Chain A
């Protein structure tokens, strides 16, 4: 399959990025080293081009009703300038995708979805759009830059008059940024390092990218690839769709009860409520390796007796801790913190311990 190109494809190639196919897009996986890039974001400031993400606008008097029907979180709590994490439950107890919902204006919402699911999500929403809410797919016209790290605010503040340090987590503003109007500046991210995400129209994406790097020069700002994005999110225990949550994992099993609000009806809410009342039988947990070794997706998780009790969904070496960390589903009896488990790493069983994320900063 021909890979799609993001607007700044040539910029990344000139920067010497290793480009790989990801979710159908040719994306920068690393510019120098995964570990170095990871630490730049934790300690300083880096910029990810995550323009492969999908963006849909839903608008009109019935937009909120549609969002309430398809999303697990309660979007009626949103105000203009507020975003929330949510998911689309399917009819079978699993998850179609996870997403962010932004309230742009009264009767206008932005939904930000995973690149791998753009087509699937669009069809899913369309299928449930019985009230003819206006739907606009702006994915191919929108670039998304995540400027993340403890120095992100200082860099970006040079380019806007919006008061960035006063913005709460999961709030956003649509304002002037680097001489361009109507840029969405969102206090969100997927790293746990703090910072902002900028939704930028493709025609000005390169200029804005360059201005961010000019402003960040005094901080030694660096471009960061998707490799470090994965290790950063994993250190925080953030779910990745396709790994930790899928069309067969329930949001309750995934620890996403906090975005599953039974204050309203939504697709499959009745069954999920029943699951909540009856209790789940398996649970997504974080774990740290005790023995030397690195967990990877699909490795078996075993109890002390060597019986399989679950499976790893994501794993890596934590660049900050220098040990293997991972997430996976286990039978509920084994989900308590500090439970000793074994990870089947090829022909060996390595010791690990259940540990509630985030893995760092405790």
Chain B
């Protein structure tokens, strides 16, 4: 399974790409595989500040629904509008076209809690 080295990960199966004070967030290849066909990505928190560990939205697969947890405290500044019409991008391209939100990081201290690619791969082993 592919867990790109340049990304950071959470135990809740999100990936984080940090670019200055902006972070892009999605779910991992492992997570999309466990969920199965994703049919709806629901993110009602655009424009809101969400604390690390809190729910910023949910992802609906055919069989199940799963909460999305904020990896780092920050303000949700953009959501991936392409997922509105093509939620299956999360399955087919979880790290690129299937990204979910961009945030403005307000508390960089929580970045150090994120997992490396290697540590995440070990977690989902």
- Per-position contact with B for A339-362: 1 when CB-CB < 8 Å, else 0? 000000010100000000000000
Tell me the minimal C-beta distance from B124 to chain A in angstroms: 14
Asked whether, in the complex, the Cβ of B58 is within 8 Å of the Cβ of A35, the reply is no
Bitwise, A161-193 to B at CB < 8 A (1) or not (0) is 000000000000000000000000000000000
User: If A293-B42, A294-B65, A296-B65 touch, does A33 touch B36 (CB 8 Å cutoff)?
Assistant: yes
Distance (whole angstroms) from the CB of B35 to the closest CB of chain A? 10
Kindly state whether residue A93 has any CB partner on chain B within 8 Å.
no
Instruction: Check if A294 sits within 8 Å of B60, measured CB to CB.
Output: yes
A interface residues, tally (CB under 8 Å): 18
Could you say which of B62, B65, B91 contacts A319, with CB atoms under 8 Å apart?
A: B62
Query: Could you tell me if B62 and A317 are in contact, using CB atoms closer than 8 angstroms?
Result: yes
Residue numbers in A under 8 Å from B62 (CB-CB):
34-35, 227, 231, 316-317, 319
> Which chain B residues in 23-57 approach chain A with CB under 8 Å?
33, 36-37, 39-40, 42, 44
Nearest chain B CB to A342's CB is how many angstroms away? 17
By Cβ-Cβ distance, the 4 closest A-B pairs, closest first, are: A34-B62, A317-B39, A35-B37, A294-B60
Size of interface on B: residues with Cβ below 8 Å to A: 15
Q: Which of A290-333 contact B (CB under 8 A)?
A: 292-294, 296, 316-317, 319
A34 and B60 in contact (CB under 8 A), knowing A293-B42, A294-B65, A296-B65? no
A328–chain B nearest beta-carbon distance, Å: 16
**Shortest CB distance A333–B (Å):** 29
Report the nearest A residue to B61, measured CB to CB: A34
Main secondary structure of the interface of A (DSSP, over half): mixed
Do A292 and B63 have beta carbons less than 8 Å apart?
Answer: no
Instruction: Count contacts between A and B, CB distance < 8 Å.
Output: 40
Where the two chains meet, the residues of A that have a C-beta atom closer than 8 Å to any C-beta of B are: 18, 29-30, 33-35, 227, 230-231, 292-294, 296, 316-317, 319, 346, 348
- For B64, the closest partner residue in chain A by CB is A296
B residues apposed to A, CB below 8 Å: 33, 36-37, 39-40, 42, 44, 58, 60-65, 91
Cβ distance B11 to chain A, nearest Cβ, rounded Å: 21
Complex CA–CA separation, A351 to B39 (angstroms)? 18
Interchain CB contact under 8 A, A294 and B36: no
Pair A346/B58 contact, Cβ less than 8 Å: yes
Kindly report which residue of chain A lies nearest to residue B42, judged by CB atoms: A293
Besides A35-B62, A230-B63, A316-B62, 17 other A-B contacts (C-beta < 8 A): A18-B33, A29-B63, A30-B36, A33-B91, A34-B36, A34-B37, A34-B61, A34-B62, A35-B39, A227-B62, A292-B40, A293-B40, A293-B42, A293-B60, A296-B64, A296-B65, A316-B63
Query: A230 to chain B: which residues have CB within 8 Å?
Result: 63
Give A316 to B39 CA distance when docked, in angstroms: 10
Q: Complex: how many Å from CA A296 to CA B40?
A: 14
Q: Considering the chains assembled together, what is the distance between the CA atoms of A275 and B60 in angstroms? A: 39
Partner of A34 from the list B40, B44, B63 (CB cut-off 8 Å) is: B63
Question: What CA separation (Å) do A18 and B33 show in the bound complex?
Answer: 9
Measured CB to CB, the closest approach of chain A to B86, in angstroms, equals: 13
Min CB–CB distance A33 → chain B (angstroms): 5
Partner of B37, one of A18, A33, A293: A33
Complex Cα–Cα for A294 and B87 (A): 14
Q: Which residue on chain B has the smallest CB distance to residue A347?
A: B44
> Which residue of chain B lies nearest to A36 when distances are taken between CB atoms in the complex?
B37
A128 to B40, CA, bound (A): 48
List residues of chain B with CB within 8 A of the CB of A35: 37, 39, 62
Docked pose: A49 CA to B76 CA in angstroms: 45
Chain B contacts for A319, CB-based, 8 A = 62
27 pairs of residues in contact across A and B, judged by CB atoms under 8 Å: A18-B33, A18-B36, A29-B36, A29-B63, A30-B36, A33-B36, A34-B36, A34-B37, A34-B62, A35-B37, A35-B62, A227-B62, A227-B63, A231-B62, A292-B40, A293-B40, A293-B42, A293-B60, A294-B39, A294-B40, A294-B60, A294-B65, A317-B39, A317-B62, A319-B62, A346-B58, A348-B44
